[in-house]
Amino acid sequence: MSHHLDPDIVKRLRRAQGHLDTVVKMVGAGREVPDVVQQLQAVEKALEKVKMLLIFDHIDHHLFEAAGAQTPEARKSIEGLKALTKYL
């Protein structure tokens, strides 16, 4: 990555790693499947959020770099593109 990365992304990755460590311990301890699956859901959601933040950061950086000035119209267009990612 050639640009500054939001520190929130690293924090969220560490949180997801903690959730995954918990899943491994739960499986090793023979915990009930519904409990394990619930914790896996937390891992998935955390990683989905990180992926979205990475994509948004990348869009912001590279589109603004390519477009030059950050006009209100350009910002609105980029926000519209980012809103579309919820359908991916």
Stretch 29-38: mean pLDDT, rounded? 97
What is the CATH T-level fold of the domain 7-87, as seen in this structure? Methane Monooxygenase Hydroxylase; Chain G, domain 1 (1.20.58)
Stretch 14-36: mean pLDDT, rounded? 96
pLDDT of residue 63: 74
73-88 per-position pLDDT tens digit: 877 877 887 788 777 6
For the whole model, what pTM was predicted?
0.71
44-73 per-position pLDDT tens digit: 999 999 988 888 888 777 777 766 667 788
In terms of pLDDT, which residue wins out, 28 or 51? 28
d(CA 33, CA 42): 14
Q: Residue length, the chain? A: 88
Domain boundaries, the chain: 7-87
DSSP-assigned letters across all residues of the chain: --SPPPHHHHHHHHHHHHHHHHHHHHHHTT--HHHHHHHHHHHHHHHHHHHHHHHHHHHHHHHHHHH-S--HHHHHHHHHHHHHGGG-
In terms of pLDDT, which residue wins out, 72 or 20? 20
